[in-house]
Structure 1
Amino acid sequence: MIELRDLTKRYGAKTAVDGLSFTVRPGMVTGFLGPNGAGKSTTMRMVLGLDAPTRGDVRIEGKHYAELKEPLNSIGALLEAKGVHGGRSAYNHLLCLAQSNGIPERRVGEVLEMVGLRDVARKRPKGFSLGMGQRLGIAGALLGDPRILMFDEPVNGLDPEGIHWIRTLMQHLAREGRTVFVSSHLMSEMAQTAEHLVVIGQGKLLADTSMSQFIAENSRTHVRIRTPEPERMRDALFAEGLRPVTAEDGALEVDGGDAARIGELAAAQRIVLHELSPQQASLEEAFMRLTAQSVEYHGHAPPVGTQVPPGGAAVPPGGTPTPPAWGESWKKGGRE
């Protein structure tokens, strides 16, 4: 279990983490979400004692990280996959970690097998791809067979098989009763992996709730109906106290309705239905709605109809090429 109480971190006038209080509990995968600059990585660094809080406290099973005698046996973490000694082989990198934490050498081979790196165990990580580096970082997190695991963007660089593997692994670890805390920007992947969510924005806690409740509270859920008899269907819905609205394609949409009940209503009135489907927003849509006011960095799409030829100069409809707004360095031929 990881416990944060009023955790705060300031860098000069900048408050990166602002009074965070929540508990990451065992037995489930807890997703840690937030826009860029929200303070997720800073929070994870404070959990591991890499950054000192300005105020507040964070404990791992009741202790500060610095109080753990052999920390890899209590908590395993992946924050930066490339944070390894490039001159050591993958095996020796893990062996050094094992020896410093009282972990038997046989465990090194076990975790290399587990993450699929057995065949490159004697190669140096500086030649690894991003995905292989991620696997080595995950092996390091698993090395002490810890009760708590913490991953920051664990699917970076992984191929589809690797993404499926790490998702399955995290869920398996949680089912064993371990605490699994994972940060990711991939909403579709998080929706398949996490059961509980902690969402922050501009360093503040925005939500600490189950996945299903988060989506329900931050999105619109409705029933979509397509029928060749929309007026009859509308009248039947109004008679039941429901207020349908007409979508752009002519379908009816009913907020707060039950699809099964609407189907029974249509059958009783002998109304033909071409579609009857419950509609629920995705995790991404719910996340975007909740964090809309907390996004620090905004991108801007070009105007509709703008052509972007090779080389990147935007051409407005009927206009001439103009340089993208990437700063004065573009005009000087440099890069930002």
Structure 2
Amino acid sequence: MIELHELTKRYGDTLAVDRLSFQVPRGQVTGFLGPNGAGKSTTMRMILGLDRPTAGRVTLDGRHYGELNEPLRYIGALLEAKAVHPGRTAYDHLLWLAQSNRLPRTRVDEVLEAVGLTSVARKRARGFSLGMGQRLGIASALLGDPEILMFDEPVNGLDPEGILWIRNLMKGLAAAGRTVFVSSHLMSEMALTAEHLVVIGRGRLLADLSMAEFIKQNSRSAVRIRTPQPEQLLDALRTAGLRADPGPDGTYEVEDGDLASLGDLAAEHRITLHELSPQQASLEEAFMQMTADSVQYHAGDGRPAVAAAPEPAWGSSWQARGTTNGKQKEN
């Protein structure tokens, strides 16, 4: 289990992590979400002892990372896939990690096979693609067969087969009773992988709850109805004190409606239904709703930026100053 208590980190005047407290338990995949600049990477670095907290503490099964004699046996982490000496082969990179933690040489071959890199084990890391680098990083995390695993953007650069593989790997590790903590910006992938969510914004804890409860609390629910008798449906809903808003393709949506009650209402008024389905927001929609006030960088509306034409400097030779071939120099 990973436990954070009032964890705080300052860089000068910047408060990157602000009194963060939560637990990452065993037996489930816990997703770690937050906008850019929320403090996720800083938090993960402090868990691994790479950054020293300004205040507070973080423990791994009751101990600080610095107290672990052979840390790879307790926690494996993928924070930066390219953190590999480019001149080393995949095999040699894993071998020196294994020897530094007194792990058997046979473990190197086992994890290379597990991540699908056996055929390139003797190739130097400088020639690896992003996806191959990710697999090598995951092999490093698995090397000590640890009880705690932590992944930052684990599907970066992976093809569809690789994404499915890492998703099933994380679920399998959690099912075996291990602690799995994963950070990602891919909401669709997180929705398929994580059972529990920890969400932070501007270094502060925003949510610590199950995936289902997170979506429920941060989105509206509705029931979609499709019928060839729209006028009768609207009359029946109005009589029952319910309002229906027009939806796509001739459907109607009843906010906070109950499937059973709406089905009974339609049957009572002999209204034919072609669709009666619950509508729930996606994880992405719920995440955007919760973190709207915590986003550090806001993009524009998606339209291409067009620079305004420069005004001429009347009475002076504008193009002659600071220009080359009619183009202004960049300072």
Moved more, 218-227 or 5-14: 218-227
Equivalences for residues 297-312 of structure 1 within 5 A? 297-303=297-303
- How far, CA to CA, are the matches of 2:121 and 2:250 in structure 1? 60
The answer to whether 1:105 aligns with 2:110 is: no
Partner residue, 1:277: 277
- How far, CA to CA, are the matches of 2:302 and 2:224 in structure 1? 33
Equivalences for residues 147-158 of structure 1 within 5 A? 147-158=147-158
**CA drift at 1:269:** 1.6
The answer to whether 1:145 aligns with 2:155 is: no
Mark the runs of 5 or more structure 2 residues left unpaired by the alignment.
311-326
Alpha-carbon spacing, 1:179–1:127, altered in 2? closer, same or farther (3 Å): same
Q: Please tell me the residue identity of whatever aligns with 1:126.
A: R
- How far, CA to CA, are the matches of 1:25 and 1:302 in structure 2? 40
Q: Please tell me the residue identity of whatever aligns with 1:114.
A: A
Partner residue, 1:171: 171
The answer to whether 1:19 aligns with 2:22 is: no
Q: Please tell me the residue identity of whatever aligns with 1:10.
A: R
| CA RMSD, 1 decimal | 1.9
Q: Please tell me the residue identity of whatever aligns with 1:141.
A: A
Structure 1 residue matching 2:293: 3-state secondary structure: coil
Q: Please tell me the residue identity of whatever aligns with 1:292.
A: A
Alpha-carbon spacing, 1:112–1:218, altered in 2? closer, same or farther (3 Å): same
Alpha-carbon spacing, 1:176–1:332, altered in 2? closer, same or farther (3 Å): farther
The answer to whether 1:253 aligns with 2:219 is: no
Mark the runs of 5 or more structure 1 residues left unpaired by the alignment.
322-330
Alpha-carbon spacing, 1:41–1:332, altered in 2? closer, same or farther (3 Å): farther
- How far, CA to CA, are the matches of 1:250 and 1:88 in structure 2? 61
Structure 2 residue matching 1:293: 3-state secondary structure: helix
Q: Percent identity?
A: 70
Q: Would you say how many aligned residue pairs link Structure 1 and Structure 2?
A: 315
Q: Deviation digits for residues 205-245 of structure 1, max 9, x if unmatched?
A: 00000000000000011001122322321232234443333
**CA drift at 1:42:** 0.2
Q: Please tell me the residue identity of whatever aligns with 1:13.
A: D
Partner residue, 1:296: 296
Q: Deviation digits for residues 28-70 of structure 1, max 9, x if unmatched?
A: 0000000000000000000000000001000000000000010
Q: Please tell me the residue identity of whatever aligns with 1:229.
A: Q
Partner residue, 2:234: 234
Partner residue, 2:77: 77
- How far, CA to CA, are the matches of 1:252 and 1:114 in structure 2? 49
**CA drift at 1:320:** 8.2
Partner residue, 2:54: 54
Q: Please tell me the residue identity of whatever aligns with 1:91.
A: Y
- How far, CA to CA, are the matches of 2:238 and 2:259 in structure 1? 15
- How far, CA to CA, are the matches of 1:115 and 1:108 in structure 2? 11
- How far, CA to CA, are the matches of 2:100 and 2:269 in structure 1? 74
- How far, CA to CA, are the matches of 2:247 and 2:172 in structure 1? 42
- How far, CA to CA, are the matches of 1:175 and 1:301 in structure 2? 42
- How far, CA to CA, are the matches of 2:329 and 2:243 in structure 1? 59
**CA drift at 1:255:** 1.6
